[in-house]
Structure 1
Amino acid sequence: MGENLVGRLSSEMFFIDRADRRSLQMQLTSSIVSTILEARTRSGTRMPSTRQLADHLGISRLTVTLVYQDLVAQGYLDSAPRSGFVVSQKVPHRRIGREDVLSFSQPVDWGRWLKQDLTARRRIAKPLDWRSYPYPFLYGQADPTLFDHAAWRDCARRALGAREFTDLADERMAMDDPVLVDFICRNTLPRRGIRARPEEVLITLGAQNGIWLAVQLLARKDRVAVMEDPGFPDFAATFQFAQMPIHYVPCTDEGLEPSSLPHDTGLVAVTPSHSIPTGTTMPIHKRRELLTMADKHDFLVIEDDYEFEMSFLEPPSPALKSLDGAGRVIYIGSFSKALFPGLRIGYVVGPAPFIEQARALRAMMLRHAPGHMQRVTGYFLALGHYDAHIVRLREAFRQRRETLTHALEKTPFRIAGAARHGGSSLWIEAPEDVDSAAFAERLAVNGVLIEHGRPFFADPPNPCPFFRLGYSSIAEEKIEAGVKIMTRVLSSGIGGQPKDSV
């Protein structure tokens, strides 16, 4: 098609999608560039007139004109006198023709090459189109109405300045953005009772990346990994990938019980301020007991201190790391929960020798988190926008939690766990004959999304009546109606058997 294409490109070759969230200008630009490159359009080929293309697509002629002018500046089009716009001789690159592909009779046996089936791990599943559901009780998702988009754009604009760009464009040799690291050391960590120097902080792609780095560096096959049950399933998956045996400790009303640790413990993964998923808080005396045992039996602790900012009921307890006088706690934090999950900016705090090795391991994978995103986040924090955002979140979540709690009072559902300081979710128990996985399926058909509890257990009860209700992503005015639907679906009977896999 491309080699024989001369004269003029037809308007029918270009399209836009009204359901696409991108701007019309961005869609049209992408469509034109793709057509020119994929069809290997000859230079001098005329484009449809701005009027023709606007009429065909049903958009403003000004939009088409602006797109054409932008593509002239980029070198894809030329403005020809009395001929409108034509494909430029300076098109950045053209696709080469595809050579004949060699075929072989022996297919690759990927089951033999891949040592583990990572897709089989227990994980928390959420539909990508969750925003299309009217009652999304999902944890960890952001409500865009609570976010200051103008402030974020201003910080992004600052980070795109000429002076900033030169700094961020250079190879940083695995070092992190000093603006972001400085704020973490001076503001974020002191709020948790932690004192750390820049060489004791590493920026990661979210908390999960920090957990993976820590486990990969510290895992020992001759020592046991310990975690809460129910607990964060990605802790278990990370330990399993590192081929470290796991010992599950039941999560009590005071969180992980230190006296239940086996004698050969090597690593303990714990969420002391807000247990996943129950919200249980470990008392200070239990934290001291855990650290005393770590010193006595020579093991290390990975502390995931997620969501401590959501403390609208009472101040959060000091971080476990703040009590650590021996450097045995590796502290994991993240800004993704408080800002938005797609941010993927977290951090690890630990002794300088550990951070040095973690930085080297991270450099083997990705050098460092994108510098521009680090700088934008750093400005958002340093200019006070983050603190103002947290104030908005706390007030909104306080109201939503109160509404959700009241809505559940006259239902068969029991609040089995809730963060003492606040948080953004409740751990719920349905009647004992209900399996939350089957219940979640029935609710989704009725527009309600919940997170069933099976992925959080190493060996879930059968049936498993527990599930998590998040309130960060659902508007307050929809909470009561969503709970009514839950009650109605429950009263109509669940039926079915729990799934064998999650």
Structure 2
Amino acid sequence: MLLFHLDPNLTETLQRQLREKIANAILDGQIPLDKALPSSRKLANELKIARNTVVLAYEQLLDDGYLIAKSRSGYFVNADILQGHAEKQIRLNDIDAKPMSWETLLTVRPSLQQNIRKPKDWYNYDYPFLYGQLDPALFPTQHWRECSRDSMNVQAIRSWSVDHFDEDDPLLIEQIRTRLLPRRGVWAKPEQILITVGTQQALWMVAQLLLKPGRRFAMENPGYVDMYNIASLLTEDIQLQPVDDQGMQIDDSLSECQLVYVTPSHQSPTTVTMPLERRRQLLDLAEKDNFLIIEDDYNSEINYESNPTPALKSLDRHDRVIYVGSLSKTLAPGLRLGYMVAHPKLISEVRAIRRLMLRHPPTNNQRTLALFIERGYHDVLLRQIHRALKQRWECMSKALQTHLPQFSTHSNIGGTSFWLKAPADLDFRKLQALARKQSILIECGDIHHFDKSCSAHLRLGFSAIQAEKIEPGLERLARLVPLAMRER
């Protein structure tokens, strides 16, 4: 007898749940080939569901080839569906076998690096002051669904379903070239653009091509943790550049570097913006001392008191800048689509190394995104997000001054988070634990300092929390601060 647990509270229909459970049971060999499945009436009575639900599930399994119908006998498992499945082997434990020594087999241990960790169920907390997550209510469901549907018509499928080897969707390349990059003051040819699986893949591939033992790499401190971790796998010579209220400090110590990573639009994690004068100073130094620059232009569009500053790449006259952009912060972090712009020779090499990894990002997703930009939906989204985030930024600014005046912050005119310097005697780990018990999520900033000689900081994001929850959340957090102070 078939007994399955069907959950009426799930978003999936009972019919679909039943169909999937029977199909899985067939593939797992749990249903004998020579016995008929229960009649639709009997199974419906056992599961306490409508008979028609069972009938429709059976008919779909019949159409899909899982079942065959025998006259006056009922439904049976179709033996053909199991063709090509390897027989299960009984595995005997060898009492003399030695345990695997992974420590001697692995050449690197990236799992031992310090990484940013966020609760997977962050959306269940009342006050998620997290950076890097986006309020699901801001996602353009209707427009994205339309573009996704249109990318699935017969003509579009014929275009993206074939193997493109190492090529990207030409429509997406054109939309990035003509619609996205000009907003940042960047003008590029198609051969200078490559689609990536988010910013992360772009940073990894560039580092693989340009770093090795003996090459010096410079980046901001505090800075982006994942970039530090990527670089540390390839070279031990990492130069940490201090950050002030104008971003990375530029000095002659960079002259010994081969590659410099910088986040000039909104420095990660402090959110400060590098002024034009300092950007030109960095470019002049790169030309004089022959090094390359990775510009991570995340959150570039999000300024609340002025127009966005043109990208560093827009000032680049000698192709020294490798520009990296992403749609994760404006569309959806889970989409994992980004792009990079660089000299054609570098793009050619990056394209080749990408082919060895995954050939190219899924072309159906590329086409959906291309249609989304082409139809102007991305411009609409940017305006909507800017309005929503500006309101939250204003709420955060006011609430921080009211409830947490003992925390100092850099001048903040953009981005999606606040970088707060905590009082010297605050145990910020204790505060984080106390806050979590009160359904408040905050992030400690120590992981962004790579020399570990810093005072305590907190990074409070506001892109995942609704505006009306910001002040009550910070008010509740403020009540916990005295409980987290160290005794003098």
Q: CA deviation at 1:494?
A: 4.7
Q: Larger deviation: 393-402 or 429-438?
A: 429-438
Residue 409 of structure 1 aligns to a residue in which SS? helix
Answer yes or no: is 1:163 the counterpart of 2:155: yes
Identity of aligned residues (%): 37
Amino acid at match of 2:321: V
Q: CA deviation at 1:117?
A: 2.0
Answer yes or no: is 1:215 the counterpart of 2:215: no
Shift of the 408–419 alpha-carbon distance from structure 1 to 2, 3 Å rule, reads closer
The corresponding residue for 2:5 is: 15
Q: Distance in 1 between matches of 2:218 and 2:485?
A: 35
Amino acid at match of 2:267: S
Shift of the 195–432 alpha-carbon distance from structure 1 to 2, 3 Å rule, reads same
Residue 196 of structure 1 aligns to a residue in which SS? coil
The corresponding residue for 1:46 is: 36
Q: Larger deviation: 88-97 or 150-159?
A: 88-97
The corresponding residue for 2:468 is: 477
Aligned pairs (5 A) from 1:457-496: 457-461=449-453, 464-494=455-485
* Counterpart contact for 2:70–2:76, Cα < 8 Å: yes
Pick from 53, 57, 64: which aligns with 1:67? 57
Aligned-CA RMSD value: 2.2
Answer yes or no: is 1:188 the counterpart of 2:203: no
Pick from 388, 396, 401: which aligns with 1:404? 396
Aligned pairs (5 A) from 1:394-473: 394-412=386-404, 413-417=406-410, 419-420=412-413, 422-461=414-453, 464-473=455-464
The corresponding residue for 1:108 is: 100
Q: CA deviation at 1:260?
A: 5.6
Shift of the 35–358 alpha-carbon distance from structure 1 to 2, 3 Å rule, reads same
Q: CA deviation at 1:417?
A: 3.1
Pick from 250, 265, 270: which aligns with 1:258? 250
Q: CA deviation at 1:436?
A: 2.4
* Counterpart contact for 1:280–1:419, Cα < 8 Å: yes
Amino acid at match of 2:374: A
Q: Distance in 2 between matches of 1:55 and 1:143?
A: 43
Q: Distance in 1 between matches of 2:36 and 2:252?
A: 76
The corresponding residue for 1:144 is: 136
Shift of the 349–66 alpha-carbon distance from structure 1 to 2, 3 Å rule, reads farther
Answer yes or no: is 1:200 the counterpart of 2:203: no
Shift of the 450–19 alpha-carbon distance from structure 1 to 2, 3 Å rule, reads farther
Shift of the 62–111 alpha-carbon distance from structure 1 to 2, 3 Å rule, reads same
Answer yes or no: is 1:77 the counterpart of 2:67: yes
Q: Larger deviation: 44-53 or 397-406?
A: 44-53
Residue 303 of structure 1 aligns to a residue in which SS? strand
Q: Larger deviation: 393-402 or 452-461?
A: 452-461
The corresponding residue for 1:294 is: 286
Q: Distance in 2 between matches of 1:395 and 1:403?
A: 13
Pick from 231, 241, 252: which aligns with 1:249? 241
Pick from 320, 326, 330: which aligns with 2:322? 330
Q: Distance in 1 between matches of 2:9 and 2:408?
A: 39
* Counterpart contact for 2:130–2:441, Cα < 8 Å: yes
Q: Distance in 1 between matches of 2:351 and 2:339?
A: 11
Q: Distance in 2 between matches of 1:301 and 1:417?
A: 25
Answer yes or no: is 1:173 the counterpart of 2:165: yes
Q: CA deviation at 1:280?
A: 0.7
The corresponding residue for 2:348 is: 356
Residue 211 of structure 1 aligns to a residue in which SS? helix
* Counterpart contact for 2:27–2:82, Cα < 8 Å: no
The corresponding residue for 1:6 is: none
Q: CA deviation at 1:220?
A: 3.7
* Counterpart contact for 2:392–2:467, Cα < 8 Å: yes
Q: Distance in 2 between matches of 1:358 and 1:470?
A: 33
Q: Which runs of 5+ in 2 are unaligned?
A: none
Pick from 299, 302, 310: which aligns with 1:307? 299
Residue 258 of structure 2 aligns to a residue in which SS? strand
The corresponding residue for 1:392 is: 384
Q: Which runs of 5+ in 1 are unaligned?
A: 1-9, 497-502
* Counterpart contact for 2:215–2:235, Cα < 8 Å: no
* Counterpart contact for 1:229–1:248, Cα < 8 Å: yes
Render the CA deviation track for 1:137-180: whole Å, top value 9, x for unaligned. Answer: 11111212122212211111111111111111111011111111
Residue 348 of structure 1 aligns to a residue in which SS? strand
Render the CA deviation track for 1:391-432: whole Å, top value 9, x for unaligned. Answer: 111111111111121111122343513542x22111122222
The corresponding residue for 1:5 is: none
The corresponding residue for 1:499 is: none
Q: CA deviation at 1:100?
A: 4.8
Q: Distance in 1 between matches of 2:15 and 2:266?
A: 45
Q: CA deviation at 1:491?
A: 2.3
Render the CA deviation track for 1:283-333: whole Å, top value 9, x for unaligned. Answer: 001000000000111110001001123234321111011111111111110
Q: Larger deviation: 237-246 or 60-69?
A: 60-69
Amino acid at match of 1:28: L
* Counterpart contact for 2:198–2:339, Cα < 8 Å: yes
Shift of the 273–55 alpha-carbon distance from structure 1 to 2, 3 Å rule, reads farther
Amino acid at match of 2:303: S
Answer yes or no: is 1:233 the counterpart of 2:225: yes
Pick from 109, 112, 133: which aligns with 2:125? 133
Shift of the 346–465 alpha-carbon distance from structure 1 to 2, 3 Å rule, reads same
Q: Larger deviation: 373-382 or 35-44?
A: 35-44
Amino acid at match of 1:359: R
Q: Distance in 1 between matches of 2:263 and 2:178?
A: 23
Q: Larger deviation: 233-242 or 487-496?
A: 487-496
* Counterpart contact for 2:185–2:310, Cα < 8 Å: yes
Residue 474 of structure 1 aligns to a residue in which SS? coil
